[in-house]
Amino acid sequence: MVIEKDWVVVLKALAHPTRLRIVAELLQGTKCVTSMQDLLPASQANISQHLGILRNARVVDFTQDGAQRCYYVCRPELVGGLLELLRDAPAPPA
């Protein structure tokens, strides 16, 4: 089996609890950093850093309205499928 470099980049980007929560929120609809700050226990700067990693992995992208950037999942089928697999997987052994 050939492992695509893109797959590795996406999986690494999603391998952080805060980024998983960001992506789960964005799957529900486009959100700006300030609105995500109200939903997540992280600072605006920290959320922006995580969004940068997700954007570099081509998981999210943004639209700009003046100075405000609003983010969305640009590969919803891929990300939604991965999150569904994780939700349905049995818990790992302790």
Segments making up each domain of the chain, as ranges: 5-83
pLDDT of residue 89: 81
CATH architecture of 5-83: Orthogonal Bundle (1.10)
| Whole-prediction pTM | 0.86
The SS3 of residue 93 is: coil
When pLDDT is cut at 50, 70 and 90, the band that residue 3 belongs to is: low
Closest residue by Cα to residue 27 from 80, 69, 68 = 80
Closest residue by Cα to residue 27 from 86, 57, 71 = 71
Beta bridge partner(s), residue 63: 70
Question: Mind listing the pLDDT tens digit for each residue in 11-30?
Answer: 999 999 999 999 999 999 99
Beta strands of 1-94 (E only): which ranges? Answer: 31-32, 60-65, 68-73
Tell me the average pLDDT across 34-62.
Answer: 93
Amino acid in position 16: H
- d(Cα 62, Cα 71) in Å, to the nearest integer? 4
